[in-house]
Chain A
Amino acid sequence: MFRRLHDAAKIAIEFEGRILQVAPHETVAAALLADGAEHTRTTPVTGAPRAPYCMMGVCFDCLMEIDGIPNRQACMTRVQDGMKVRRQDGVRRLEP
């Protein structure tokens, strides 16, 4: 669990259908952690919950579905007003 040191101007993103007020300039991973998200994906192998670990694009543990595109690094993606973010659960499915 994390908290913000300063209040900032806010924009709105959607996480799992819920509207979050987040600061512009920050990454999706930072925004979700500051909002109290505990895990951001489950693994394809065992379904274990994972959360962002390195915050600098190295570990790929923060992979999420952002605006309908899976496998995006939440720690490398800046929030944008109206962005829709979902947890990435287990193995990716190929849509027909």
Chain B
Amino acid sequence: MTRDNSESADLVIIGSGPAGLTAATEASSLGLSVLLLDEQEEPGGQIYRGIETAHPKTARLLGPDYQRGAALASAFRASASGYRPGASVWRVDADGTIAYSRDGQAHIVRGKRILVATGAQERPVPIPGWTLPGVMSAGGAQVLLKSAGVVPSGRIIVAGNGPLLLLIAQQLITAGANVAAILETTEFSDYLAAASSLPRAMQAGDYLAKGQRMRHDINAAGIPQYSGVSHLAASGDEKFKQISFESGGMRHTLSADTLLLHAGVVPNTQITRQLDCDHEWVADQRYWQPVLDSWGTTSCDTVAVAGDGGSIIGAEASAIAGRLAALDTARRLGIFNLAERDQRAAPLRGDLARHLAIRPLLDTLFRPDPAFCVPPDDETIVCRCEEVTAGDIRIAVREGAMGPNQLKVFTRCGMGPCQGRMCGLTVSEIIAASRGATLTETGYYRIRPPIKPLTLGELAALDDKFPTE
């Protein structure tokens, strides 16, 4: 006899960014029972973080791209979808069982189908000194601005590459913060290489216009900008004091109070990895992504992914991907047939293609810097939790560590509280480069539950809620 008093739903969605919100709204409008679990206290994900509570002045300076999230959040609030904010998912099983904790209490929920909408995380930027207080990810600074109206107070240096780097610089300038310099690894040759993607990108002309506006605002503010930057190294005693780098054949050193680092975003694959779904290496963007069909379904039939967690596509494309995944879920659960699914999806597919037209340009222009992927300096910390350096990893490889999982035994790399989120990509890259192997041969960490912190008390209290024979 199974004693099971857990909740259940047709579709359980994890994450309330653009993909999760539209999927929940669409699926519940189609008559499916939906439950959305989200780690944050409010809907919006990171891109629309604080969308319901941000100060009006903050929302205004973040601009229309941010404010667009308000409509998604209110449509979701008006839908019949269930919602558990503050829910930290720590285990997902292919049979549809999801375990999460909320307010110190663990729960089980069952879905006929699961949609993983957990978005992206920033690519690690392992440079010497990146663990010093005073060094933060640029995305982290943006979260502070969105969620709390808090900005760095002294001299700020922004370094790395990618559209978000320029956006956060522009937003901080607008907020009146003191951006003292922008250091970009992007070189003139990257612009030449990207030029061939320009005709296709013209289909998404609004993105190009936004990029031009960011450049214009930054130029108008008269902030020193360095391009083709390399050999970045942060230093300071107990906290960040200065950054040194090379640009234009010269060595530079700049003092500042805050260093914001960014090198693009990559899919957050923690849940699809824990499920052991198939993943593939994306050579030009240098990240792993789950293998998906055109509706987001993974190699595990009950689980789909929508949004940046599947491949970096941006907020607006993610909102469309969420709706496509909802349509396919409705088809699978018998609400309508294939023909109707495809008919409903047709206009969405057109919109999606338009949004994706900008990607080849962005991917070429903002290719990940090789020195961020394989840090050349042996002293650079790769695993921030266990303080394992690039040199430690190279030594372990020479001593016989063949892959990321074996490296754990040699060094404890990836075994700290972040469970490899901050070092996983770098570790695979260093091992592949050291062995002359491909990334596919080298592989990635095996991710095991619980994938979020869980106390023994929470786990013990869950006992009588598990199905028992």
Contacts and interface: CB of A to CB of B under 8 A. Distances in A.
Interface of A: 1-6, 8, 23, 25-27, 30-31, 33-34, 38-39, 43, 45-46, 48-61, 63, 69, 71-73, 75-76, 78
A4 B139 contact: no
Chain B's interface size range is 35 or more
B150 A3 contact: yes
Contacts of B135: 53
Contacts of A27: 147-148
A45 B121 contact: no
B429 interface: no
Contacts of B141: 55
15 contacts: A2-B144, A5-B175, A6-B55, A8-B149, A23-B148, A39-B133, A51-B133, A51-B239, A53-B137, A54-B137, A54-B139, A56-B143, A58-B268, A69-B455, A71-B417
B257 interface: yes
A56 B149 contact: no
Interface string B74-113: 0000000000000010000000000000000000000000
Given A5-B58, A38-B133, A55-B140, A43 B387 contact: yes
Contact of A1 (B55, B154, B453): B154
Contacts of A26: 147-148, 150
A38 B416 CA distance: 22
B140 A52 contact: yes
Contact of B57 (A5, A57, A75): A5
Given A27-B147, A39-B133, A60 B385 contact: yes
B133 A58 contact: no
A38 B152 contact: no
Nearest to B143: A55
B190 interface: no
Interface string B149-168: 11111100000000000000
A71 to B, nearest CB: 6
A55 B418 CA distance: 13
Contacts of A60: 385, 416-418, 421-422
Interface of B is mostly: loop
A61 B384 contact: yes
B144 to A, nearest CB: 6
Interface of B: 39-41, 46, 50, 53, 55, 57-58, 88, 121-122, 131-137, 139-141, 143-145, 147-154, 175-176, 238-239, 257-258, 268, 384-387, 416-418, 421-422, 453, 455
Contact of B150 (A33, A58, A59): A33
B123 to A, nearest CB: 11
A42 to B, nearest CB: 10
Given A5-B57, A8-B149, A76-B40, 4 more contacts: A1-B154, A2-B144, A2-B152, A60-B422
A2 B57 contact: no
B105 to A, nearest CB: 14
Contacts of A45: 386-387
B71 to A, nearest CB: 21
B454 to A, nearest CB: 11
Contacts of A31: 148
Contacts of A1: 152-154, 257-258
A45 B384 CA distance: 10
A48 B175 contact: no
Contacts of A38: 133-134, 238-239
Nearest to B268: A58
Contacts of B147: 25-27, 30
Given A6-B55, A73-B453, A46 B387 contact: yes
Nearest to A23: B148
B131 A50 contact: yes
Nearest to A35: B150
Contacts of A25: 41, 50, 53, 147-148
Nearest to B453: A71
Nearest to B257: A1
A30 B387 contact: no
Given A1-B152, A39-B133, A71-B453, A55 B258 contact: no
A31 B141 CA distance: 13
A76 B418 CA distance: 14
B15 to A, nearest CB: 12
B41 A78 contact: yes
Contacts of A61: 131, 384
Given A58-B121, A63-B417, A53 B136 contact: yes
A56 B143 CA distance: 8
Chain A to chain B: the 9 pairs with minimum beta-carbon distance, closest first: A55-B140, A51-B133, A30-B148, A55-B143, A3-B153, A60-B417, A26-B148, A60-B418, A5-B149
A48 to B, nearest CB: 7
A58 B417 contact: no
